[in-house]
A and B are shown apart, each in its own frame.
Chain A
Amino acid sequence: MSDTKKMSVTEELPGKLIAVEGLDGSGKSTQVYLLKRWLEMRGIKVFFSEWNSSVIVKKATSKGKKRQLLTPTTFSLIHCTDFADRYERQMLPLLRAGYLVLCDRYIYTAFARDAVRGCSRLWLRNLYGFVRQPDLTFFFNTPLEVALNRILSGRPQLKHFEAGMDLGLSADPYESFRLFQERIYQEYLAMRDESGFVTIDGTAPIEEQQEQVRDIVARTFDLPRFRWRTQV
């Protein structure tokens, strides 16, 4: 029984998984979107999945957030449930079907955020033990101030959990968000090597970053292998 599970984590699959990680405001979402467009326009089978997007889990997550029912543990578990749903029903089957799967945020987001909230790092690593390592992970390294400016300019409404208000870092949402993001940033830096991140300078111009990203993807994978066989 253990064999079935462990096998799918390490077995060679026809498809490949590319993950992007980084702080909010690091520019990763823009970059992964442009990457997706580039691949699509080259006729490549691409699937895109983003964090916290499972329809099944959505209701519970937003209920929990709205009514502030979430603790660090339930927050972590509910996001893991969301991830598992997307992983089991979409990502894994599509990897078996030979797709390039792009993920905006992956398990490292959980490792960073949930650890900052106080969850045991060991428990977190075991929790996500059913998940494959990506074939390529980009970490968009943007200095904290730059990332924060991108998010906070225009004084957007910061929601309770988004700002890390549950951590009691500050009574002011903006200050709380700042401190929260800083801690997440430190977690990311600490896991860079162990997780094999390919770091991209998030302060470089968008086109320059994208060129780097495309170059690395083209060199890492034999892209023609992922083309559609039939006319699309």
Chain B
Amino acid sequence: MKFYGEGIAGVNLAELSGKLIVIEGADGSGRSTQIDLLRDYLENTGRAITNVGLVRSTLVSNELNEAKQGNVLSEITRSLFYATDFADQLENIIIPSLRAGFIVLADRYIYTLMAREIVRGADRDWVRSLYGIALVPQLIIYLKVSPGQLVERNLRKNATLDYWESGRDLGISRDVFKSFMRYQRLIQREFSMMQTEFGFHVVNGNRAIRSVSREICAKVEEILNGEEK
């Protein structure tokens, strides 16, 4: 187990015997569904699981959601709010769970945060250094779904396209649909670059749920067995 960068002070990495598995992907990529299925699979084989995700911290999630409503945050401030939320969960949930030997399933991780910020003009070096506090996962699954499919799935779920997931704050297009497509492509491009840098395992999310799940569970099993040897 190691940190990406400068890490968090006072953590004995040798004590963290659990595993960190990250599932990344856009809204509508099927993440939540796949995490539920993966959780079922793992619990069925007797492993203890903890779930984490973005904007769930006790510390700032309320304030962050409130601020998002009001459009009052400037870029760096927003980035830092998300980073605080992440750090809070890292220290209060992820690290203690790993110490207890649990498997942590992360619904998104620093990669979505970094991609969102970079697409909005953040300095890449700054963002990398900021998230140097994060632990390196044992497996990162990137559920890749074409923007066309994403639109369909999002509309089927909510009948609207989320403001932030459409990059509306960027002024890409006055048309919501066009904005969504363009924004998601920008995010995917950033993810493609991160793929090699961070070693994502890319899963084609355009397929049927069961098919995707089989691939994910097999890969996770492979990693867990590899580590257990």
Q: Do A and B assemble together? A: yes
* A interface residues with partner B (beta carbon < 8 Å): 1-2, 4-6, 56-57, 59-60, 63-64, 67, 69-74, 77-78, 80-81, 84-85, 87-89, 117-120, 122-123, 126-127, 129-130
Q: What is the predominant secondary structure among interface residues of chain A facing chain B? A: helix
**Cβ contact within 8 Å between B84 and A126:** no
**Cβ contact within 8 Å between A88 and B133:** no
A36 to chain B, nearest CB (A): 25
A70 to chain B, nearest CB (A): 8
**Cβ contact within 8 Å between A2 and B123:** yes
Residues of A with C-beta under 8 A to B58? 67, 69
**Cβ contact within 8 Å between A56 and B130:** no
**Cβ contact within 8 Å between A118 and B9:** yes
Query: Which of A5, A64, A71, A72 sits near B123, CB closer than 8 Å?
Result: A5
Query: Given A81-B81, A85-B77, A88-B74, is A73 in contact with B124 using a C-beta cutoff of 8 Å?
Result: no
Contact count A vs B, C-beta below 8 Å: 106
Residues of B with C-beta under 8 A to A6? 123
A187 to chain B, nearest CB (A): 15
**Cβ contact within 8 Å between B77 and A88:** yes
User: Which B115-171 residues sit within 8 Å CB-CB of chain A?
Assistant: 118, 121-126, 129-130, 132-133
Give complex CA distance A59, B122 in Å. 26
A167 to chain B, nearest CB (A): 11
Query: Given A81-B84, A84-B80, is A56 in contact with B67 using a C-beta cutoff of 8 Å?
Result: yes
A116 to chain B, nearest CB (A): 11
- Say yes or no for B72: interface residue by CB 8 A criterion: yes
Number of chain B residues whose Cβ lies closer than 8 Å to a Cβ of chain A: 37
**Cβ contact within 8 Å between B10 and A118:** yes
**Cβ contact within 8 Å between B75 and A77:** no
Query: Given A63-B59, A74-B88, A78-B59, is A56 in contact with B122 using a C-beta cutoff of 8 Å?
Result: no
Residue of A nearest to B76 (CB): A84
Give complex CA distance A129, B123 in Å. 10
Give complex CA distance A77, B84 in Å. 6
Query: Which of A72, A85, A130 sits near B9, CB closer than 8 Å?
Result: A72
Q: Which of A74, A80, A123 has the most CB of B within 10 A?
A: A74
- Say yes or no for B176: interface residue by CB 8 A criterion: no
**Cβ contact within 8 Å between B75 and A88:** yes
For this complex, 9 residue pairs linking A to B, each with C-beta atoms less than 8 Å apart, are: A2-B123, A60-B63, A69-B59, A71-B87, A74-B59, A77-B83, A119-B9, A123-B5, A127-B130
Give complex CA distance A77, B67 in Å. 17
Residues of A with C-beta under 8 A to B125? 2, 126, 129
Give complex CA distance A130, B72 in Å. 19
Query: Given A5-B121, A64-B59, A123-B6, is A71 in contact with B91 using a C-beta cutoff of 8 Å?
Result: yes
B124 to chain A, nearest CB (A): 7
Residue of B nearest to A90 (CB): B74
**Cβ contact within 8 Å between A60 and B10:** no
Query: Which of A67, A69, A119, A130 sits near B76, CB closer than 8 Å?
Result: A130
- Say yes or no for B53: interface residue by CB 8 A criterion: no
Type the 1/0 row for B41-59, where 1 means its CB is closer than 8 Å to any CB of A: 0000000000000000011
**Cβ contact within 8 Å between B80 and A1:** no
Residues of A with C-beta under 8 A to B194? none
Give complex CA distance A55, B7 in Å. 29
Residues of A with C-beta under 8 A to B100? none
Residue of A nearest to B89 (CB): A74
Give complex CA distance A63, B126 in Å. 28
**Cβ contact within 8 Å between A1 and B77:** no
Sample of 13 further A-B pairs with CB below 8 A, known A73-B87, A81-B83, A130-B126: A1-B124, A57-B63, A59-B63, A60-B62, A69-B92, A72-B9, A73-B8, A73-B91, A73-B133, A81-B77, A84-B80, A88-B75, A118-B10
Query: Which of A70, A84, A129 sits near B77, CB closer than 8 Å?
Result: A84
Residues of B with C-beta under 8 A to A73? 8-9, 87, 91, 133
